[in-house]
Amino acid sequence: MPLCRLQQFDDGFKKIYDDYPMGSVINTLCKSALTVLAFTMLAVLVTACAASTTHTPGTESTSAENDTGKSGDAFAYRATEATVREGLNNISQRYIDPVDMDELALRGLHGLITIDPSLQLEMDKNNRQVYLNRGETHLAQLKAPQPGEKDATNWAHLTAEVLRAGRSHSEDLQNADNERVYEAVFDGMLSNLDIFSRYAGAEEARANRARRDGFGGIGIRFAKSEDGILVTHVSTDSPAFGVGLKPGDVIVRVNDVQTTGAKLRDVAELLRGPVGSQINLTITRLSDDAKAPQRTIDFNLKRAHIVPESVRVTIADGLMVITVSSFNKNTSNAVHDALTANDQAIRNGSLQGVIMDLRGNPGGLLSQAVNVADLFLEDGLIIATLGRHPDSQHDYLASGVDLARGLPLTLLVDGDSASAAEIVASALQDLGRAVVIGSASYGKGTVQTVIRLPNDGEVTLTWSRFISPSGYAIHGLGVMPAVCATNTAPAKNPVPKNSDSLSDAILAPEHIDGGRNTMDAWRATGLIFDGRRDTLRSACPAKTFKADKNGDLLMKLAVRVIHDPAIYQRAVLLSQPVNTASR
């Protein structure tokens, strides 16, 4: 398998930011399936078995206020209750759509008993009684909060009581630690929400925070090789760069730990550590000496705060190409620096245009997307966010300075351009500042807020939607490019893909103009979520674009658009400058 196809890591694991990573969606769906199935089995009981044990929340024998009951059970019930209470409060108040407290809490309880599949939980909604059963055997009866009661405290207390009762009858629950309980309960609560809302335990949450904020590392990306770990990239101004580590070096040992055959994630753990801490590497490097074609070098480094590079800039033939792979805390600064460093070239005309490549960009920080778009705008609404919680509702406006000074600007997007990348594309297109080229983007148009819990875990919760400047919700729709590269070939007369005929067909005036009706219908969807979104997406089918033996199609199109004022103006006029997003 060629190196470019290998899964590559940096020394902070995979890059994960505030937007839920696309690659984890399937795992979440599969993980939630059992919880959803368990909840659908809910039955309403009117009477309880005569052999049942009745528990009333708050009594001495069952109260979750004490971590050790008469049985000597030392499980951390109070910690569980506090964590569940915090989760219930935040989910019910902040989730993008209204959530019924009864349903949310009951799903959490059903998640809890998935730890022991032999248990069943049922509720008599008329009498507000919850029953814990094993088959036909009634194990416990507990009183549920009254209908419509929004107090998360009582529901959290009930959760702890069900856990206490379950542990007295279930070995599986007895063997489950607090973290396993949190995972089961929150997976249950979130199972009926959207796929981007999820729970992360304390360990995973700490790693997530490090990925969002940066971490102690040495500043490299790497992949597996036969002899160890192959360095594929060294970030400038990093500890690795400072000591002379180079792409092509093979790391064979990290702090006396051999790397041959090691998993990439394990190597990443070895490379990461507290900022300022020491790390020793042994690498092999190819040599020009025929007698010793390979030499071994030891490096001693100090870990530093690392934020992965997300921007790559190249300038050739009068064009600046800015490739943005994700949006982290340094992204807008990197784009800003590239533009200001070339201000003289922009002023004197030696730089003729800018191409921003957002293909495969999974998104990242909302603030960074806003800042990047703002670098090319003088005024107008960049994006609006709309949610149920007052703090989720914002209008983000341009600040008044276009650092590219009006140079022709094209954006490349494909079916893997998502979230923050879609904010940039929709803003610059809707405001008439750029020509977007490619296919319909991914359509991930929601904002996630991260809620830190008392156990140091976190809930990532969807709490608002992106609304483009022209007023349509991006979620489930994506961004429609003014120059669509996936709908040009008629079925009866396909355009050869290995000739310039394809580019000619894509850039033909009638093809660009033909997208106007689709663009108008795209914007007219507003906040309506129905089948028309899928229908519209089929007008410019989502596709991933990569260079092949015939070259890079989208890059070729971008160059032609910038160098041909007539094509550029035709495509820009397809999206008249607008600013109509409203609540």
The pTM of this model reads: 0.77
Q: Is residue 583 in a domain?
A: no
The C-alpha atoms of residue 229 and residue 226 are separated, in whole angstroms, by 8
Residue 205 included in any domain: no
Are 82 and 159 spatial neighbours (Cβ–Cβ below 8 Å)?
Answer: no
Q: Are residues 277 and 173 in the same domain?
A: no
Q: What order do you get walking across the sheet with 435-438 strand by strand? A: 311-316, 319-324, 353-357, 409-413, 435-438, 483-484
Query: Could you give phi then psi for residue 485, rounded to 5 degrees?
Result: -105, 10
From first to last of the 583 residues of the chain, give the pLDDT tens digit: 333 333 344 443 333 233 434 434 434 433 343 333 333 333 322 223 333 334 433 333 334 444 544 455 679 999 999 999 999 999 999 999 999 999 999 999 999 999 999 999 999 989 999 999 999 999 999 999 987 666 899 999 999 999 999 999 999 999 999 999 999 999 999 999 999 999 999 999 988 887 777 678 999 999 998 889 999 999 888 999 999 999 999 999 999 999 999 999 899 999 998 889 999 999 999 876 766 678 899 999 999 988 888 999 999 999 999 999 999 989 999 999 999 999 999 999 999 999 999 999 999 999 999 999 999 999 999 999 999 999 999 999 999 899 999 999 999 999 999 999 999 999 999 999 999 999 999 999 999 999 999 999 999 999 999 999 999 999 999 999 999 999 875 444 454 554 578 999 999 999 999 888 899 999 999 998 888 899 999 999 999 998 887 889 999 999 999 999 999 999 998 765 444 444 3
Task: Indicate if 187 and 224 belong to the same structural domain.
Answer: no
Residue 57 has a pLDDT of 38
* pLDDT attached to residue 149: 63
| Other Cβ atoms closer than 10 A to 498 | 9
Into how many domains does the chain fold? 3
For residue 461, is it within any domain? no
Q: What is the domain range of residue 91?
A: 22-195
The answer on 70 and 35 residing in a single domain is yes
Identify the H or E element spanning 28.
Answer: helix 25-40
Same domain, 250 and 287: yes
Q: Which two tokens stand for residue 444?
A: 């991930």
Torsion, CA 32, CA 37, CA 38, CA 43, rounded to 10: 140
Same domain (yes/no): 190, 317: no
Q: What is the CATH number of the domain that holds 259?
A: 2.30.42.10
Residues 277 and 324 in one domain: no
pLDDT of residue 43: 31
Which residues have C-beta within 8 Å of that of residue 291, sequence separation ≥ 6?
none
Instruction: Specify the pairing of strand 137-143 against strand 54-55.
Output: parallel
Token readout for 324 is: 């943005």
Asked which of 135, 161, 195 is the last residue of a domain, the reply is 195
Task: Give the pLDDT confidence score for residue 29 in this predicted structure.
Answer: 37
Question: CA-CA distance, 80 to 90, in Å (whole number)?
Answer: 16
Handedness of CA 514, 519, 524, 527 (dihedral sign): positive
- Could you tell me if 11 and 65 lie in one domain? no
Token reading at 519: 């663009």
Q: How many CB atoms lie within 10 A of CB 200?
A: 21
Of the candidates 307, 403, 399, 394, the one whose C-alpha atom is nearest the C-alpha of residue 356 is 403
Q: Is residue 447 part of a domain?
A: no
CATH code of the domain in which 399 resides: 3.90.226.10
250 assigned to some structural domain: yes
Residue 179 falls inside a structural domain: yes
> Do 301 and 437 belong to one domain?
no
Per the CB < 8 A criterion, the answer to whether 146 and 138 are in contact is no
Residue 200 lies in a domain: no
Residue 435 lies in a domain: yes
Same domain, 480 and 500: yes
Boundary of a domain, candidates 281, 306, 331: 306
What is the 8-class DSSP label of residue 496?
Answer: P
Do 266 and 346 lie in a common domain? no
End-to-end Cα spacing for the chain: 50
Domain-ending residue, one of 306, 330, 349: 306
**For position 303, what pLDDT does the model report?**
95
**Catalytic sites, residue numbers:** 419, 430, 444
What pLDDT shows up at residue 576?
59
* Same-domain status, 294 and 398: no
Task: Please tell me whether residues 143 and 238 are part of one structural domain.
Answer: no
